[in-house]
A and B are shown apart, each in its own frame.
Chain A
Amino acid sequence: MGDFGLKDALSSITSTAILEAIAVVVAASLLILVIQKLVPAVASKLSGKPRLYLLALVPLLRLLIIILTIVMVVPILVEPSFENMLAIFGALGLALGFAFKDYANSLIAGIVTLYEMPYRPGDWIEVNGYYGEVRSIGTRAAEIVTLDDTVIVIPHGLLWDTLLANGNDGTDNLMCVAELYLDPNHDVARLRSLFRDVIYTCPLTRTYQPVIVAVSANDRGMEYRLKAYPLEPKDQIRFISDLTARATEVCREEGVRILSWPPLPS
């Protein structure tokens, strides 16, 4: 039993069976490819929840197809007895464990990702300082697109020991913050009220979500944080820019100086 019975299990494989198995695998791969191209393309035409639901379907469908393919291919190649299954999966496990340790790690983490859903396609996440929208979840890695339109590939294996921040967690509610540092000598209550009006009158604001104007004093000056939700997560840059521009206009009208960091030479 030095070979775990693998030799016996594989002895019955014929060339026809191999061709048949390859045909099934190719068909499954093509199907996965079509799903990975078609579903996101359709989702991009939609807005709101239907878009998120469609995007979330992609990895689940792929997992389903992979499982079905394995279930179909194994009986084609070997007789599906308990001993043969033990031999095949034992050998596969050993090979993956030693030769492709990191790959297997990411594969397993990928399955955990589908179960625990720390991120889904359409989520805005930050991992190791990289922030972007999850574009796709592959078997081994997820792809995010940053706000500068750069694609970053994040292996699922990072899940085990890396902090991951998810901005919208499967919903289309993404809080955004516009920050301003102001010269402390001003009427704080009035400015907070004006900034609140700024948020409510911005056409990109979801007014049915909380609107907060937080203020704190620190060594850089009075820090104002205008917190609100944009209509859709993809509007975040325009939303923050719009809030910042409108708040700056208020400061100009009120004669309140905006501080820069490091301070500009006077």
Chain B
Amino acid sequence: MTTDTDQDHPCLPGGLIPLDQWKSPETSVHKTVRAGFQDILEQLRSSITPEGRAFEKLDNLPALSAAKLKKFAPEPSAEELANALNQQLEVFRQDGHHNRPVNFLVAPPFSGVPQALVAMKRRVIMPPDNLLMSEQEVSGWWDEQLAGDDWVLPELADFWLRHRSGLSLLKEFFARVALDNAGEGVVGCSSWCWQFWIQYLPELHTGPVTLTCLTGDRLTQWLDYLASGKSGRHLTARMTHDGLYVLPARSKDSKDKYSSFAQDLANVARGNRGVAHAIWQRALRAKPEEDAEQEGAEDTPANGPKCWVAPLDQLSLPSVPHSSGRQCGHILHALLLHNGVSRAQLELVTGIPGQEISLTLARLTRAELINQDAQISRYQVTPLGYPAARKYLQARGYPVDGF
């Protein structure tokens, strides 16, 4: 189902909604039960196989070239998302849904919100080098940063460490926000960081908003929009095994048979645009299986770019390696809570000795669950590894985000 907002902001399908209205994509009981059994089997399998699997392509079909991939599934534009977010926030203000000077935008990892906030042409507040400031130092630092209005804080998760001495910055910040004493600004916050802080400060009420969950239809619209770019030429994407259509988005008078791929992808990604986009990139193929091209060929538009999509069960996503200890869980959880941290910071927040951290980081990197940003030497969870990491943490009792 598409709405007016989808037409106005194709880069932000569904627009913004209050955080408490967010719902994961609807799925059938059959699929939920199947997913539950698959999770159990996955847990059993991971304890039998010695190492977690990295991403695997289970078919022999050729992947798209880098140039075509960039053309058919380009990275979303931060500037366009920034414009859409600005307009949506303005609508919220005008409607009277939000009348506080500071707007909180809570989004799951890989949503692209921090990059969009940086592109908003406002004064960007960056985290200090030392996150373990004393209470006195913190007060002076915020006085300086919040001196004028019209600021933007791209990612709140960068401003704290889960350590006794690493909470001061955000405690002071939230205290100022609660008193409307922080000027006017926009704050981006990872859903994992947010979850921690609303549990730590249960009386915190800031009226956060979030991006609407990508359902199958919205995901199709968004992928179609990304692929068509400025040229306006729609990409035709069909399944490699049965020739059913995935793109372009179904029009009202379309008689083509469409695959449930987009719906399944939305479910696997739990409506997370970054995760869905990463899997989509890995699913694109240059050629179909034999016969698939013939099926429905008479309906194929004569012009326009064309590519093929491998079924989701032909893609094996990374899984968390089996471990009898808590190292993998602690590290993955810390990386998600802080939107990525350095090795030294990991030592501080998990309490795991440095050598053990190095060994576990190496295992998780080999499994493609995490990668290291060479520029800032921070480790972070990969979009492809995120679904497995989240399930792993949830199954082991860790506090997970609401997305």
Contact = CB atoms under 8 A, between A and B. Distances in A.
Contacts of B167: 197, 200-201
B40 A47 contact: no
Nearest to A253: B164
B40 A242 contact: no
Interface string A35-52: 000000010011110100
A207 B164 contact: no
A50 B40 contact: yes
Contacts of B162: 200-201, 203
A231 B398 contact: yes
Contact of B395 (A48, A206, A246): A48
Contact of A242 (B349, B351, B397): B351
B330 interface: yes
Contacts of B326: 203-204, 231, 235
Q: What's the interface size class on A, roughly?
A: 20 to 34
B399 interface: yes
B44 interface: yes
Contacts of A250: 164
B200 A194 contact: no
Contacts of B369: none
A46 B36 CA distance: 13
B139 interface: no
Interface string B31-56: 00000000010011001000000000
Given A48-B395, A194-B164, A231-B396, A203 B334 contact: yes
B399 A207 contact: yes
B28 interface: no
Contacts of B333: 203
A25 to B, nearest CB: 32
Interface in A197-230: 197-198, 200-201, 203-204, 206-208, 230
A197 B200 CA distance: 9
A229 to B, nearest CB: 9
A46 B398 CA distance: 15
Contacts of B397: 47-48, 172, 206, 230-232
Contacts of A203: 162, 326, 330, 333-334, 349-351
A194 B135 CA distance: 13
Contacts of B121: none
Contacts, number: 65
A250 B165 CA distance: 11
B163 interface: yes
Interface in A214-266: 230-232, 235, 242, 246, 250
Nearest to B329: A231
Contact of A198 (B40, B44, B164, B349): B164
B254 interface: no
B196 interface: yes
B303 interface: no
A15 B167 CA distance: 79
Contacts of A198: 164
Nearest to B36: A50
Interface in A53-90: none
Contacts of A206: 397, 399
A194 B167 CA distance: 11
A226 to B, nearest CB: 13
A42 B44 contact: yes
Contact of B47 (A45, A208, A230, A232): A45
A53 to B, nearest CB: 10
Interface of A: 42, 45-48, 50, 172, 194, 197-198, 200-201, 203-204, 206-208, 230-232, 235, 242, 246, 250
Interface of B: 40, 43-44, 47, 162-164, 166-167, 195-196, 199-200, 326, 329-330, 333-334, 349-351, 394-399
Given A201-B163, A203-B330, A231-B326, 11 more contacts: A47-B395, A48-B397, A200-B200, A201-B167, A203-B326, A203-B349, A203-B351, A207-B196, A207-B199, A231-B396, A242-B351
